Amino acid sequence: MAKIHDDKAFNINPAFVLKHKPIKPLHTYIEGIGNGDRFILSEALTLIESEESAKKEMAAELVDHFQNNKTAKDTLRLAITGAPGVGKSTFIEYFGKYLADKEKKVAVLAIDPSSQVNKGSILGDKTRMNLLSTHVNAYIRPSSAGSMLGGVAKGTKESILLCEAAGYNVIFVETVGVGQSEFWASMMVDMTVLLMQPGAGDEIQGIKRGIMEMADLILVNKADGDQKNTALQTAKAYQSVLSLFKPRFSNTVAEVFTISSINGTGFDQVWQKIDHFKQALIAENHYRTNRIEQEKFWFDAMLKEEILALLMKNTAVANQIKTLKTAIEKGQLSSSAAFHQLQKSIAIALNI
Ligand SMILES: Nc1nc2c(ncn2[C@@H]2O[C@H](COP(=O)(O)OP(=O)(O)OP(=O)(O)O)[C@@H](O)[C@H]2O)c(=O)[nH]1
Ligand SMILES: [Mg+2]
Tens digit of each residue's pLDDT (9 = 90 or more) over 255-298: 999 999 999 999 999 999 999 999 999 998 999 999 999 999 98
Q: Are 255 and 218 in contact (CB under 8 A)?
A: yes
- Pairing outcome for strands 148-149 and 138-144: unpaired
Q: What are the tens digits of pLDDT across the range 328-339?
A: 999 999 999 999
* Beta-sheet strand order (sheet of 138-144): 138-144, 106-112, 170-174, 76-82, 191-196, 217-220, 255-258
User: Which ligand 1 atom sits closest to the C-alpha of 113?
Assistant: 23
Distances in Å between the Cα of 138 and the Cα atoms of 29, 160, 310 are 20, 14, 39
Pocket test for ligand 1, best of 81, 88, 90 (most atoms within 8 A of CB): 90
Banded model confidence at residue 302, pLDDT cuts 50, 70, 90? confident
- Pairing outcome for strands 106-112 and 170-174: parallel
- Report how far ligand 2's centroid is from the alpha carbon of 134 (Å): 18
Distances in Å between the Cα of 129 and the Cα atoms of 3, 177, 244 are 29, 18, 37
If you ran DSSP here, which 8-state letter would residue 146 be given?
Answer: S
Banded model confidence at residue 87, pLDDT cuts 50, 70, 90? very high
Q: Are 246 and 207 in contact (CB under 8 A)?
A: no
The model carries a pTM of 0.85
CB atoms within 5 A of ion ligand 2 belong to 88-89
Residues 123 and 13: their CA atoms lie apart, in Å, by: 8
